[in-house]
Chain A
Amino acid sequence: QSALTQPASVSGSPGQSITISCTGSSSDVGSYNLVSWYQQRPGTAPTLMIYEDTKRPSGISNRFSGSKSGNTASLTISGLQAEDEGDYYCCSYAGSSTWVFGGGTQLTVL
């Protein structure tokens, strides 16, 4: 199982929108509508932001949205806020009851 590919870092100014990509393969991202996204702030456990490609858990701001095309999933954060800073990870179900994470993307709010 190879890790999903994410950009190492992205940045944006407050109020702007940013998108983080997550590229897998036809064995994981492309085969299942089961990509999830996690936010992790320093020293804390990850928090689920998006599941099943596009769904938001209760309590997550609608500024966060997920999409997918082929083997690439994306997380978009609109109306960027300082509190959005942190690391973001994608994760996909990869079949045979296994999962795979992306390498992570560090988001900086300028």
Chain B
Amino acid sequence: QVQLVQSGAEVKKTGASVKVSCKASGYTFTGYWMHWVRQAPGQGLEWMGWINPNSGGTNYAQKFQGGVTMTRDTSISTAYMELSKLRSDDTAVYYCATSRSVGYSFDIWGQGTMITVSS
């Protein structure tokens, strides 16, 4: 079936980097943009940006420009989101999500990856 499976939870030190993976299965990975959304503890959803798995093109929310890098490996149908210079307020659950059949919405979500940043 169509699914996105993300890498496991991580604990990082302030100033470090983290790279979260999102493996797609059950559909053509290169056919649909992959988005990343984060959710701080007890807070709402925040759109971070997308990557076009076919071309590698990206677009990041203004807030994350300069701090996030989205990449992909088409040979293994996996998208990556790397966050650098981590701060405590980057502590959040990070989701990948795609719009496989509903255009400009997100109908398939990964299970989420908890990233904890501490000093």
Asked if A100 CB lies within 8 Å of chain B CBs, one says yes
In the complex, which residue of chain B has the Cβ closest to the Cβ of A49? Answer: B105
Tell me how many residue pairs across A and B have CB atoms closer than 8 Å. 70
Measured between beta carbons, the chain A residues less than 8 angstroms from B110 are: 45
Selected contact of B45 from candidates A46, A51, A55, CB within 8 Å: A46
Asked if B53 CB lies within 8 Å of chain A CBs, one says no
Asked if A93 CB lies within 8 Å of chain B CBs, one says yes
Asked if B55 CB lies within 8 Å of chain A CBs, one says no
Closest-CB distance, A41 to chain B (whole angstroms): 13
Closest-CB distance, A108 to chain B (whole angstroms): 16
Selected contact of B104 from candidates A1, A47, A93, A104, CB within 8 Å: A93
Chain A interface size band reads 20 to 34
Measured between beta carbons, the chain A residues less than 8 angstroms from B61 are: 1, 98
Measured between beta carbons, the chain B residues less than 8 angstroms from A102 are: 44
Contact: B59 with A97, CB < 8 Å?
Answer: yes
Q: 20 new A-B pairs (CB below 8 Å) besides A46-B109, A91-B106, A99-B104?
A: A1-B61, A32-B104, A34-B104, A34-B105, A36-B102, A36-B105, A45-B110, A48-B102, A48-B106, A51-B104, A52-B102, A52-B103, A52-B104, A57-B107, A93-B104, A97-B50, A97-B59, A98-B47, A100-B47, A103-B44
